[in-house]
């Protein structure tokens, strides 16, 4: 039962605190019902938008999502109970019939939590942010690099509803949309769904942070196993001469083990002045970035299906400049990147914003204006026509190439070559990326309607 507080007509506590004495002793939070949005969209923050993107990218029936979004806008979702592996609420239908709706999300196992916490402990920025009750978006990529998916993927959001629909119904979809609004206020809810409460997580993180600092302060040993990640000795390998003289194919060594955290680059600043022209801060930043990318590439190589995955395109110099700037380099390095990229600071800032919402694909949408062919244009127009239900007032849109601007507003959606819609907002005379892509234009515009 949660801390003392009034209960609503659905029997849920209005207090937004942790339940201290759940039957199984696990953490739980009950959050009060949110009011109708009165035309506001969903998900103002990166985490709320990322949750919606994961929902919309994996849904089988966009029609059910639209009806659920409308339910959530109208305030049909009661108080939401969040606990490991499950979110629950009573959702009222248009005729006010209440339905208990649950959405199940796979909890992380102990090994996944161990890898995730090691990633956090390795990066002081993550530790500081989490202890300050903030969750940096970069945590998703760092977690994925060690095989931990924080955001839901295909099949992860399993619906259960009293209306007995076999897939997501308007009630479970409404619950998911409501959770996006809750994640705006507290992204820690996602970690609770994945299995750990805030206090438990922060307590363990503090312990690991201290142990991590002590481990790196200790002098390195001379034995070979100490140089290998996790203390695992490097595989023996095969001499090149022996490999080429074998009559048949040589036996390949076992794949290397996954690396829980990137290697710590050497500290280059010492007691002597650096050589003329050597930027020590930039070199240290690049070494740290190379370690992070190497760990991520290894994790991708060890993932199932990697052999049949398409080879990603090589980044251009401009794309890599944007990527490096988005990684948060020291101020003097960021200044060098800005000065050497050949773009003004606002162009670079817009590019970094795009990169944070979707990497190279988002940067392409920012910079490329194209005219869809007849087939793509017909598909886009059909999506626009179906985006608003009968009786809903659709905005008047002015089209130019792949860009549709809501007349009289500072809102725009851009149609990507992959069929996704990207929200943009006008500020200081330029269009700025405003969120991750959505599968339909109404959802993209809803992001822009948020305060």
Q: Which of 451, 419, 421, 425 is nearest to 438 (CA)?
A: 421
Q: What is the pLDDT, as a whole number, of residue 53? A: 81
Helices (H), 368-440: 374-386
Q: What is the pLDDT along the chain (451 residues), one digit of tens a residue?
A: 233 333 343 333 334 444 444 556 678 899 999 888 765 557 778 888 888 888 887 766 777 888 888 898 888 999 999 999 999 999 998 888 999 999 999 999 999 998 888 888 777 667 667 766 778 888 888 888 888 888 888 778 889 999 988 778 999 999 999 999 899 888 889 999 999 888 888 888 777 777 666 655 555 444 444 444 445 555 566 676 665 665 655 566 677 787 777 777 777 766 677 778 788 888 888 988 888 888 888 887 877 667 777 778 899 999 999 999 998 888 889 999 999 998 988 999 999 999 999 899 999 999 999 998 888 888 888 878 777 666 667 788 898 999 999 898 899 999 998 888 999 999 989 999 998 888 778 778 777 765 4
Q: Which of 174, 192, 231, 177 is nearest to 28 (CA)?
A: 192
CA atoms within 13 A on the CB side of 154: 1
- CA distance linking residue 175 with residue 416, whole number of Å: 28
**Of all residues in the chain, what percent are helix, strand and coil, respectively (each to 5)?**
45, 10, 45
Which residues, including other chains, have CB under 8 Å from residue 242's CB and lie 6 or more apart? 250
- CA distance linking residue 150 with residue 141, whole number of Å: 9
- Biggest CA–CA distance in the chain, Å, is 79
Residues 377 and 368 sit within 8 Å (Cβ to Cβ): no
Q: What is the pLDDT, as a whole number, of residue 85? A: 93
Q: Which of 262, 292, 56 is nearest to 173 (CA)?
A: 56
- CA distance linking residue 449 with residue 451, whole number of Å: 6
Give me the residues paired with residue 92 across strands. 98
DSSP 254: P
Q: Which of 83, 86, 94 is nearest to 26 (CA)?
A: 83
- CA distance linking residue 94 with residue 71, whole number of Å: 8
Q: What is the pTM of this model?
A: 0.53
- CA distance linking residue 421 with residue 404, whole number of Å: 10
- CA distance linking residue 53 with residue 152, whole number of Å: 10
- Dihedral sign for Cα 292, 43, 441, 152, please: positive
Give the three-state DSSP class for 166.
coil
Residue count (the chain): 451
- CA distance linking residue 37 with residue 47, whole number of Å: 19
- The structure tokens listed for 347 are 């162009």
DSSP string, 193-204: HTT--HHHHHHH
Domain boundaries, the chain: 29-109+136-196, 315-363, 374-449
- Dihedral sign for Cα 311, 434, 87, 159, please: negative
- Across the beta sheet with 158-161, the strand order is 29-31, 80-83, 86-92, 98-104, 158-161
Q: What is the pLDDT, as a whole number, of residue 247? A: 60
């Amino acid at each position: 039962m949660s801390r003392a507080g009034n209960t609503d007509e659905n029997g849920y506590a209005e207090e937004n605190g942790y339940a201290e004495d759940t039957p199984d002793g696990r953490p739980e939070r009950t959050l009060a019902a949110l009011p109708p949005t009165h035309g506001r969209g969903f998900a103002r923050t990166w985490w709320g938008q990322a949750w919606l993107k994961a929902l919309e990218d994996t849904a089988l029936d966009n029609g059910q999502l639209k009806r659920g979004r409308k339910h959530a806008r109208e305030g049909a979702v009661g108080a939401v109970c969040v606990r490991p592996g499950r979110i629950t609420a009573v959702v009222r239908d248009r005729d006010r019939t209440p339905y208990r709706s649950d959405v199940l999300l796979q909890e992380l196992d102990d090994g996944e939590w161990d890898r995730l916490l090691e990633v956090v402990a390795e990066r002081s920025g993550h530790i500081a942010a989490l202890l300050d009750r903030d969750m940096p978006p970069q945590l998703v990529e760092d977690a994925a690099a060690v095989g931990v998916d924080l955001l839901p993927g295909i099949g992860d959001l399993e619906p259960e509803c009293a209306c007995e629909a076999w897939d997501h119904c308007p009630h479970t979809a409404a619950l998911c949309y409501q959770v996006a609004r809750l994640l705006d206020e507290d992204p820690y809810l996602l970690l609770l769904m994945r299995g750990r409460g805030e206090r438990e997580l922060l307590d363990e993180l503090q312990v690991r942070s201290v142990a991590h600092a002590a481990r790196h302060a200790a002098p390195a040993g001379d034995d070979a196993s100490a140089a290998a990640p996790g203390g695992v000795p490097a595989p023996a390998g095969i001499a090149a001469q022996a490999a080429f003289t074998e009559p048949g194919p040589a036996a390949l060594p076992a794949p290397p083990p996954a690396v829980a955290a990137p290697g710590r680059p050497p500290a280059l600043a010492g007691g002597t002045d650096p050589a003329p022209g050597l930027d020590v801060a930039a070199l240290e930043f690049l070494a740290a970035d190379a370690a992070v990318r190497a760990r991520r590439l290894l994790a991708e190589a060890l993932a199932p299906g990697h052999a049949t995955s398409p080879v990603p395109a090589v980044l251009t110099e401009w794309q890599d400049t944007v990527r490096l700037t988005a990684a948060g380099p020291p101020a003097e390095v960021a200044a060098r990147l800005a000065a050497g990229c050949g773009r003004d600071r606002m162009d670079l800032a817009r590019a970094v914003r795009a990169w944070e919402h979707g990497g190279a694909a988002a940067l392409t949408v920012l910079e490329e204006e194209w005219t869809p062919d007849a087939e793509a244009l017909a598909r886009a127009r059909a999506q626009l026509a179906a985006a608003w239900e009968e009786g809903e007032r659709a905005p008047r849109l002015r089209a130019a190439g792949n860009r549709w601007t809501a007349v009289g507003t500072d809102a725009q959606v851009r149609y990507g070559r992959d069929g996704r819609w990207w929200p943009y907002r006008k500020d200081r005379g330029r269009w700025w990326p405003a969120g991750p892509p959505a599968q339909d234009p109404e959802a993209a515009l809803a992001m822009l309607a948020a305060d």
